[in-house]
A and B are shown apart, each in its own frame.
Chain A
Amino acid sequence: MSVQDRVLAVIARVAQNDEVLRNPDVHLYETGLIDSFGTVELMIALGEEFDFEFSPAEFDPEAWATPNKIAALVAERMG
């Protein structure tokens, strides 16, 4: 599985919704798929999946807006 697919799978699991798999450009906050609590769950789940740590201090609603953007953040972190 590519990084992209793994990130999408994690987001779908945290959001308990498969919408992100069909539409990786869906806005996670405007649609209510993810809230601040979900973001923390997502940070923890992504950290476990890829073995690094995200910090709440680096949260930026713009950069975390869609599954594709999050995948880009993860890819950058693994860079």
Chain B
Amino acid sequence: MTPYATISYFGFLLYPTLPAVALGLVGRLSRWFVLGVTLLMIGLQYGLLLPGDAAVNVGQCWQLLAYAAYEGALVKGFSLLRARDRAMPRWAPAVTVTLVLLPLAAAKLLPALHVSGLVGFLGISYLTFRSLDVIFGIQDRLIKQIRLRDFWLFLLFFPTIASGPVDRYRRFMKDWEQKRSRAEYLQDLDAAVHRIFRGLLYKFIIAYYIETYWLSAAGATHTALGGISYMYAYSFYLFFDFAGYSCFAVGVSYLFGVRTPENFDNPFLAQNIRDFWNRWHISLSWWFRDHVYMRFVMWATKRKLLANKYAISYLGFILSMGLMGIWHGLQWHYILYGLYHAALIIGFDYLSRWNKRHKRWGEGPVWRWAGVFITFQVVCFGLLLFSGRLFQ
């Protein structure tokens, strides 16, 4: 069954939640317990424990477990290789990253070759992000040693397995290394309940009403005005649906002892496009910032790939935003979505540097709200591209 989508899912969720809360209150919430719950919930979510649920394919469950074993072997092997005194072979990092990406690449490419259902399960791309985070941490010697139990707990942690947020291994482990008092757990419990109720409001009330009374009507029209209405309806629907899901994922994480990072921070109030990416799908955009953009810029700058530092930066934006687009799927509208945002960020960077010299764009509330207004329009247009409606 799909996580957080039905009342019965929440009903099942109560069974592990009650003992988790009891253990949390006496400070005994352990990694083994949460790993056990995670495996049970995976069995449930992917249909192994409850066959007959039409929404899932039991094969996905076995694929997921095989995937976890495969990535575990890669991570463990890479960390052993890194821990040796001798320098690592030059090819090792690139080969490891390629192997980590292989299942995701197969899941995305095989359907394009008309081989479907062979590889791929709900959440594979999010798990790939987490695996790569660990690999980069080992490569940079930030993760000195890793236990498979910890890696699998991080990789499979059931509240966030389906669609994020994308946590980071070192942040995740900090939650387990420090003991939590009863007072702290009570605070987490409070935060969890708060988020779960916000999730209910966003996903099951606001998103539901937008979909039923606005989005579907706007989607049925074929006029220009209908298209504009659809653009806003889709933008609001996507936000409330995904932010609602994220509230559930973060809230349930807190119940099980993990302070999963937030994914949204009033994105439609962003003052510019850079600000937007610090507020929209935050865990994903920061993952790309750290592991693609900054990594590429550091690599290119050290090797003096290009003389012009802005050229390096812009190439980094095209690379990270382009990959972000492709990651959603290999369809043209996703690729275009990524490149559109790369163009927006580059354009904004160029204009704001130009403005430092010419001082045309001022400061103060009127300018700020003008920024919010413009950003909202270009962001909604981006989501219209993302929806694929323009390409039907």
Contact = CB atoms under 8 A, between A and B. Distances in A.
Bind each other? yes
Interface of A: 35-37, 39-41, 43-44, 53, 55-59
Contacts, number: 46
Interface of chain B: mostly helix, strand, loop or mixed: helix
A56 B133 CA distance: 11
Interface string B204-246: 0000000000000000000000000000000000000000000
Contacts of A40: 294, 297-298, 301
Residue of A39, A43, A57 with highest tally of chain B CB at under 10 A = A57
Nearest to A56: B294
B215 to A, nearest CB: 35
B142 A58 contact: yes
Contacts of A55: 136, 140-142
B168 to A, nearest CB: 9
A3 to B, nearest CB: 21
A57 B297 contact: no
Contact of A59 (B139, B141, B294, B312): B294
A53 B309 CA distance: 20
Contacts of A35: 274
Contacts of B309: 37, 41
B298 A43 contact: yes
Interface in B117-167: 133, 136-137, 139-142
Interface string B309-333: 1001100100000000000000000
B136 A57 contact: yes
Contact of B302 (A37, A44, A58): A44
B140 A58 contact: yes
B137 A57 contact: yes
Nearest to B278: A61
